[in-house]
Structure 1
Amino acid sequence: MSSAGVLAPRPVSVRFEHHADGRLGIGESRPRLSWHYDTAPEGFRQSGAVIEVTVDIPGRDSEVTEYLVDGDEQVLVSWPGRTLASRERVHVRVASISDFGTSEWSEHATVELGLLDEDDWSGRFVGPGWPEDRETDRRPGRVRAEFTAPDDVVRARLYLTAHGLAQAEVNGSRVGDEELTPGWTSYQHRLRYATFDLDQLIVPGANAIGIWLSDGWWRDRIGFEGGSRNVYGDDQSVLAQIELTRSDGRRTVVASDDSWTAGFGPIMLSSIYDGEHVDLRDDDASWSTTGWTDPSWSDVAVFDRGSARLVAPTGPPVRCTDELAPVSIDSKGSGRWIIDFGQNHSGRLRITGHSAGGSTVVLRHAELLEDGELYTRTLRQAKATDAVELPPGDFTWQPRFAIHGYRYAEISGWEGELTAESVVSRVLHTDMQRVGWFESSNAEVNRLHENILWSMRSNFVDIPMDCPQRDERLGWTGDIQVFAPTASFLYSVTGMLSSWLEDVAVEQTDRGTVPFYVPYLPLGSWQHAPVDPVAVWGDVAVLTPDVLHQRTADIELLRRQYPSAKAWVDEVHARAGEDLICAGTMQLGDWLDPAAPADEPELATTDPYLVATAYFARSAQRLALTAKIIGESEDAQFYGDLASAVASAYADRFLSADGRVEGGSQAAYALTTTFRLWPTPELQRVGTSRLAALVNDAGGRVATGFAGTPVVSDALTLGGQDEAAYRLLLSDECPSWLYMVRMGATTIWERWDSMLPDGTVNPGDMTSFNHYALGSVGDWLHRVVGGLAPEAPGYRRIRFAPRPGGGLTSASARHVTPYGEASIEWRVMDIGLHVTCVVPVGTSAVLDVPGHDAVELAHGRHDVTFGLLAVA
């Protein structure tokens, strides 16, 4: 092959681990590297790369080293250089090597390491030390300190964590744009810290730092059935460490200690569920080096750090990612207004106006209206109310620590006219990179997909939560287990979920099993529940790392989580007994299937032991594959044999010789098919025909809950029952996905009938209008309707396999894989089916359309037209 005159392709988008470019305070001392190519000539194959590593060393010349790596790997390539140390700032650029020669350099990518060693920390946890009632709401405090900065500072950093939540200001200016710092981890084991750039805030000479505090998840009331207080401790404190690096490399450290002072600010109440109450008449807004001073301020108390390790973030922080303007404002008289933002979401309000004589403005939040007023029963014991007492004059205000789930808000106590310029809703969630898109010719299906997207955005708030509005907001393991395939297509979630999975492992060790939710805390009647391995929920330990590996090729994540995954399958195995049937344990089964009573969601139509045994087989299958990937060959053989044995036991117990499943439910057939538990292909064919008949007999209505819904559409597709799968998708009768759309939903509901056909709200206590679990159908939309799926880990090989049907005339899916953007668009035309695919450089693909031979695709754009074909 001649490459004369053709330029070697230049790498782009160099990345460290799963971090955004420029990330401060990472914890990986040997960070893996990834890059991709936007374009490349035909026949290009990377045979190696040159990696230039530049380490900034204040006071000395930068350390620049080039490394040559062989091979075609572009994703999570092992760190080629020396082990990095705390605080080091490193820049990397890459040049490709191929038959076309050596390319030009990529742009630099940069990260900075955090504090990696215990000895790096000199600060103490400090906070208010005044007496408080541990069982009531407590007024938040603030802490402050003054310090002197040298006149030759070349780098200034703040390292910050808290028992509770903290937000810092330096010389009166807010530090960074992160929200809810330091987030929620299993605080007894792992406490995350954040790193902030102070370069533009520090001035030579006198400076001051002030830090706002809030209870957060540390000591606030958390959870349902009244919740629990002081789960992790009863202090409210912060650990802060400012490091000023001088031109000669010396460091001046200002660390929180007993010389700091504490006092009250204008926040009277700050509660996760109840909201924030602020009295701006008490606010000392004048900031200089002596800002926040008051005779009532006193010395801080110093608190014990506890047993937690201080850990750097592996994913992005929570930020404001969007702002929503009102779509309608309705006056209720006497300064009271109802605002519709047109979209259910998680966030907080920012209000701007003028108060002539000083007033109290109250902000209430809800997911829906009833008779034109906020409907708050679904909040349960969460008040979701913010209040601000204003002095006379102009104001702009928003809560500092509160976050709510809502579409509608009520503002009362407002002086004058409330206009669209007076209020905006700021959308808050983990600031993940969007990497996946889907669209079709059906507007209602597109709205369904948008609802899935917004439910994910609403509930990925530092951890994968179940709902953003009521007195819960917990990291339910079952919800993310079924939703992870959809989530990992839409957003880059591996960094965030990697941290959460570490907490799954430590909580599993503490509890003796994978808990229902992580971080775990004892709540109401649930703290007395049997410590049993509960299927679907506990299987997160195996199946979610497996999904993330499929999507990103992150073998180290698999390796790190392997002991947790293995412990889960071993526990299920031990409890199942000699017959390998998961009976005699507490199970939630096909939770919230539409036939279950409103207040007994576990009483589904599918035998919970069938669900648990099917999941036992599935997790054993995937654990065997994981063991093979990470080189645990003996385990791979053992768990492969176990999976086969469980499948045989399942068939003996739950399947008949003529292809029937015990109970005959949609979920039972779907689990059996998707988890490949039919003993023969013929029985699978018969079984999926029966599943299709169940769907058709129900008029296309869904009859599955949390366990069956993620697999029912795939089961139909695997059995060649595309027509029934589309009928299920496109039904708009209750219960169905498009029923939610028809009823005006802008997010996915917890129940299929959270709103009843007559427009009233389901009377069940467990009724939310913003849960993502039933949105797990998004993965099927992406892979089957759109037709884009990984066939090898990290999309190294891509499967384009659209299954047109349901009257759709077009659909498209695109995803930013680790190798670059892949996409497919198909259109039904008079002459047949036209498909356009884009295959990223470094990957290969297959295009599989029913009735036609598969087409192999190299990197680049491909337009293929297939002759007339029958579609569902």
Structure 2
Amino acid sequence: MEELKKHFITASNPEFIEGTVNIFAQQIILSQKEVTTAQLYMTALGVYEAELNQEKIGDQLFAPGFTYYHRDLFYQNYDVTKQLKKGENVFKVYLGQGWYNGRFTHENKTQIYGNNTAVSWILEIKYADGTSEQFVSGTEVDELASPYKYAGFYDGEVYDARIQQDAMGKASMFTGKIPECFSETTIKVKLQESMPVQKIIRKENSTILDFGQNFAGMIEINAALLDENTTLTVKHGEILIDDTTLYTENLRKAKAEIVYFAGKRKESYLPRFTYMGFRYVELTGAQYIEGLISARAIYSDMQRTGHFTSDNPLIERLFNNQFWGQKSNYVEVPTDCPQRDERMGYTGDGQVFALTGSYNYDTEVFFEKFLKDIRYSQLDNEEGYVAPTVPAGGPGGIGFINMLGWGNAVTIIPEMLYWQYGTDKHLVRQYDSIKKFVEAEIRRMGDHDLWLGPNLGDWLMPGKDLEWMAKNNEPISNSFIVHDLEVLSKLAGQLADKEQLLKKSEKDETAYSQYLADQERYSVQLQKTRAAYIEKYINDNGTVSGDYQGAYIMALKYVIPEGKLRQKVLKNFVANVEENGLNTGFFSTQFILPLLIEAGNTQLAFDVLLNEDCPGWMYQVKRGATTIWERWDALKEDGTVNDVKVVSDNMVSFNHYAFGSVGEFYYQYILGMKPLLPGYQKIQLKPYVDPRLGKVAGSYLSRAGLIKVSWAYQEEGIEFEFETPAASTIELPDGSYYEVEKGTYTYQIKRS
């Protein structure tokens, strides 16, 4: 909708004040003619919500959405036919700063993408007699007094319902930079589940409400239950100290509060420009009565595709924890956490959880958008690198710490999409982006064929500080380069083969030659880097440099091919786990249990999963976690918060989904569902069982159709039931093997 570029308006006062919300109003006067269609096209540099005749237009939150505003902007297309009436209509727009120029990033910057917010709209009305009419944003639009004293993602909102929204001037035309690329929104954040209050804790001067679940969302205030001139303050937090005190130290510079000044008007108040990560809220300034506060979860709109149940309540709770972790952090982009002054699109967190997330929900469109964010952000990186957070803040380079493991989302995510959803379009579309990234890696590797330098390594590995990881990161960081080279060389070969199969008239000889040259270049570099990695980091006896689990795991996952050396490394890896239990960070946690299965240690894998000591997933569950923690020991064994500082900031989140990548083990191993061909055109069903889980059941709605698996220990043996939508192989723990077509199948084997 290129036409929108002509109609951006902004506030008459160009001064930047953090937290400002501007309100614009336009009178839409219609004749008595019958309206057949009314389409509203709209976008903003900032975050907007529009109303027609006091009714919200659409159901999207934080429109137009978070993109790399330097180059890319979404617009929305609304059908407002039913909201219009003959005669006078009032069209109103609330415009906040949001990601565009509000306070954002852990550095708490403002004006990241521009100085002033702006909004543009075109309302096209068609009448039954064949005529049409258009209303657009312009200098005749009224600017209204704003009841918002402040609005921002981190601090929340201060809203004064006593202020009358009277006209105070006219809008000005926006003269700032407008992104070149406009495209219609592909996925939107919406209000989701209602979150009922589970417990009320009344204190002398405040009331704490417990919603029973940590989540990303917002509260709604029923203003009809407040006296005029009451000032209600609502603070948000994830945990309570001693069951009575709201803990907010981990919010850092974020206030995460709502301040509401009640007026005569008694409509409900719901935030437009903020959301919080919380389980608890604390109210001051008014006595809590039932119905005053309600809450809703928010996340990007995706179809749920995965389900899992177990008789073991800890196992099922952990599944639900990772599930809520995804819902809390799939808000426009894969964020790190929803509560503190961050909430940024971390590529590392995103790629680690991507496979698990794609089982829980259909994430193809979500990641299609994120991969576009990567491409646009990468265009302004002087070395063609992918930043650790996307959309990036602007032009940049690689930096002192190379952040390998983060930007490698550029290969990991589209490869995952290929296998889960059966299309290579994301890999193909990302091809040039992947090449730029890999070329940056090659330049930095130089003659070593390895990238030697500081990195965060297996981030938040237990018992090791930032300095240790920076010095011992290389087996982790360079494993990602090996994987990048493998993906790119294979992709180049596949694209060359595609060109070769085309008719002569359709074949692009230049592209074909380039793909062949790329395949050769990256295959040779892959061999060099793999050989250099093995020579530098892996001893003949199978020990890996640093002798820590993350190094073993990432070497096994991405570097070491089948053979004697791999078996030696596997043996040492298993011995390390047997001696130390789980001891992994952000990247290697995803693969620890699958690799134990590969090594033939199924019981050890389940022992690690079920371990209730720290570090371990069940340690969190036993301490009341309802989402995944950022640190294994976010709560210490004595119940106090591990408020360790990194540089100068507290860094302990109780809703940080990276360690929730264990969800992959639920689907692919406990239930045993894996694609043998992309998009589950052929399926492997190979469950791994343990009596401590009791009865297990789960399903996944794949591109091929619904897959269902259940198993249960009976007196005589173990009973399995499978439902498959496509040709499948079924492998049972006793070694029996079946090749089946679409259908439902039941088997029983003896206990081992």
| TM-score normalised by L of structure 2 | 0.92
Note if 1:196 corresponds to 2:81.
no
Deviations 1:118-142 (A, max 9, x none): 2x4475111211152x3x4243110
- Correspondence 1:637-676 to 2 at 5 A: 637-676=520-559
Match of 2:18 in 1: 137
Note if 1:615 corresponds to 2:497.
no
Choose from 403, 406, 409 the match for 2:278. 406
Choose from 337, 341, 350 the match for 1:467. 337
Q: Which amino acid aligns with 1:383?
A: K
Asked if structure 2 preserves the Cα contact closer than 8 Å seen for 1:483 and 1:775, the reply is: yes
Choose from 720, 732, 735 the match for 1:849. 732
d(CA) in 2 for partners of 1:738 and 1:654? 33
Choose from 588, 601, 604 the match for 1:724. 604
How far 1:516 sits from its partner (Å)?
A: 1.0
Choose from 838, 846, 849 the match for 2:723. 838
d(CA) in 1 for partners of 2:169 and 2:390? 38
Choose from 391, 394, 397 the match for 1:519. 391
Secondary structure in 1 aligned to 2:162? Answer: helix
How far 1:395 sits from its partner (Å)?
A: 4.9
Secondary structure in 2 aligned to 1:538? Answer: coil
Match of 1:770 in 2: 655
Match of 1:440 in 2: 310
Q: Which amino acid aligns with 2:488?
A: L
Asked if structure 1 preserves the Cα contact closer than 8 Å seen for 2:628 and 2:660, the reply is: yes
- Correspondence 1:72-221 to 2 at 5 A: 115=1, 118=2, 120-121=3-4, 123-132=6-15, 134=16, 136-150=17-31, 151-221=33-103
Counterparts in 2 of 1:772 and 1:122: CA distance versus 1, 3 Å: closer
Q: Which amino acid aligns with 2:603?
A: E
Q: Which amino acid aligns with 1:564?
A: S
Choose from 162, 169, 175 the match for 1:297. 169
How far 1:167 sits from its partner (Å)?
A: 0.6
Choose from 86, 109, 114 the match for 1:233. 114
d(CA) in 1 for partners of 2:615 and 2:216? 26
Deviations 1:68-114 (A, max 9, x none): xxxxxxxxxxxxxxxxxxxxxxxxxxxxxxxxxxxxxxxxxxxxxxx
Note if 1:326 corresponds to 2:197.
yes
Match of 1:534 in 2: 403
Match of 1:98 in 2: none
d(CA) in 1 for partners of 2:228 and 2:249? 35
Match of 2:501 in 1: none
Deviations 1:798-836 (A, max 9, x none): 111111136333323311111221121122233333221
Q: Which amino acid aligns with 1:771?
A: H
How far 1:856 sits from its partner (Å)?
A: 0.9
Q: Which amino acid aligns with 2:728?
A: A
How far 1:789 sits from its partner (Å)?
A: 1.4
Match of 2:123 in 1: 242
d(CA) in 1 for partners of 2:661 and 2:137? 45
Match of 2:219 in 1: 349
Asked if structure 2 preserves the Cα contact closer than 8 Å seen for 1:215 and 1:236, the reply is: yes
Q: Which amino acid aligns with 1:858?
A: E
Counterparts in 2 of 1:737 and 1:579: CA distance versus 1, 3 Å: same
d(CA) in 2 for partners of 1:355 and 1:607? 58
Secondary structure in 2 aligned to 1:577? Answer: helix
How far 1:206 sits from its partner (Å)?
A: 2.6
Match of 1:685 in 2: 567
Counterparts in 2 of 1:275 and 1:240: CA distance versus 1, 3 Å: same
Choose from 352, 355, 360 the match for 1:485. 355
d(CA) in 1 for partners of 2:355 and 2:30? 49
Q: Which amino acid aligns with 1:830?
A: E
Deviations 1:649-688 (A, max 9, x none): 221111122222122111111112222515x533323322
How far 1:536 sits from its partner (Å)?
A: 0.7
How far 1:488 sits from its partner (Å)?
A: 0.8
Gapped regions of structure 2 (runs ≥ 5): 497-514, 645-649
Asked if structure 1 preserves the Cα contact closer than 8 Å seen for 2:140 and 2:170, the reply is: no
Counterparts in 2 of 1:171 and 1:853: CA distance versus 1, 3 Å: same
d(CA) in 1 for partners of 2:202 and 2:267? 21
d(CA) in 2 for partners of 1:406 and 1:572? 39
d(CA) in 1 for partners of 2:678 and 2:517? 22
Match of 1:268 in 2: 149
- Correspondence 1:319-398 to 2 at 5 A: 319-334=190-205, 336-352=206-222, 353-371=224-242, 372-392=244-264, 394-398=266-270
Match of 1:428 in 2: 298
Match of 2:134 in 1: 253
Match of 1:418 in 2: 289
Choose from 432, 444, 447 the match for 1:575. 444
Choose from 464, 486, 495 the match for 1:596. 464
What number of residue pairs does the alignment pair up? 724
Asked if structure 1 preserves the Cα contact closer than 8 Å seen for 2:39 and 2:123, the reply is: yes
Choose from 412, 415, 433 the match for 1:543. 412
Deviations 1:158-181 (A, max 9, x none): 111111111111122111121111
**Poorly superposed stretches of 4+, deviation over 4 Å:** 392-395
Note if 1:708 corresponds to 2:588.
yes
Bigger share in helix = 2
d(CA) in 1 for partners of 2:751 and 2:537? 38
Asked if structure 1 preserves the Cα contact closer than 8 Å seen for 2:455 and 2:470, the reply is: no
Choose from 451, 455, 462 the match for 1:587. 455
How far 1:357 sits from its partner (Å)?
A: 4.3
Secondary structure in 2 aligned to 1:630? Answer: helix
How far 1:744 sits from its partner (Å)?
A: 0.7
d(CA) in 1 for partners of 2:171 and 2:183? 28
How far 1:401 sits from its partner (Å)?
A: 1.7
Match of 2:680 in 1: 795
Asked if structure 2 preserves the Cα contact closer than 8 Å seen for 1:606 and 1:667, the reply is: no
Choose from 735, 740, 743 the match for 2:623. 743
Asked if structure 2 preserves the Cα contact closer than 8 Å seen for 1:160 and 1:193, the reply is: yes
Q: Which amino acid aligns with 2:698?
A: A
Asked if structure 1 preserves the Cα contact closer than 8 Å seen for 2:50 and 2:92, the reply is: yes
d(CA) in 1 for partners of 2:470 and 2:311? 35
Q: Which amino acid aligns with 2:111?
A: N
Asked if structure 1 preserves the Cα contact closer than 8 Å seen for 2:483 and 2:558, the reply is: yes
Asked if structure 1 preserves the Cα contact closer than 8 Å seen for 2:4 and 2:121, the reply is: no
How far 1:533 sits from its partner (Å)?
A: 4.5
Q: Percentage identity across aligned positions?
A: 29
How far 1:612 sits from its partner (Å)?
A: 1.6
Secondary structure in 2 aligned to 1:480? Answer: helix
Q: Which amino acid aligns with 1:188?
A: H
Gapped regions of structure 1 (runs ≥ 5): 1-114, 285-292
Secondary structure in 1 aligned to 2:203? Answer: strand
How far 1:379 sits from its partner (Å)?
A: 0.1
Q: Which amino acid aligns with 1:828?
A: Y
Secondary structure in 1 aligned to 2:123? Answer: strand
How far 1:210 sits from its partner (Å)?
A: 0.7
Q: Which amino acid aligns with 2:700?
A: H
Counterparts in 2 of 1:629 and 1:532: CA distance versus 1, 3 Å: farther
Q: Which moved more, 1:390-399 or 1:606-615?
A: 390-399
Counterparts in 2 of 1:357 and 1:473: CA distance versus 1, 3 Å: closer
Q: CA RMSD in A?
A: 2.1
Match of 2:636 in 1: 756
How far 1:249 sits from its partner (Å)?
A: 5.1
Secondary structure in 2 aligned to 1:297? Answer: strand
Asked if structure 2 preserves the Cα contact closer than 8 Å seen for 1:123 and 1:241, the reply is: no
Deviations 1:185-206 (A, max 9, x none): 0001101111212021111233
Deviations 1:760-791 (A, max 9, x none): 11122221111111111111221011111112
d(CA) in 2 for partners of 1:806 and 1:719? 20
d(CA) in 2 for partners of 1:790 and 1:521? 37
Asked if structure 2 preserves the Cα contact closer than 8 Å seen for 1:276 and 1:385, the reply is: yes
Asked if structure 2 preserves the Cα contact closer than 8 Å seen for 1:689 and 1:721, the reply is: no
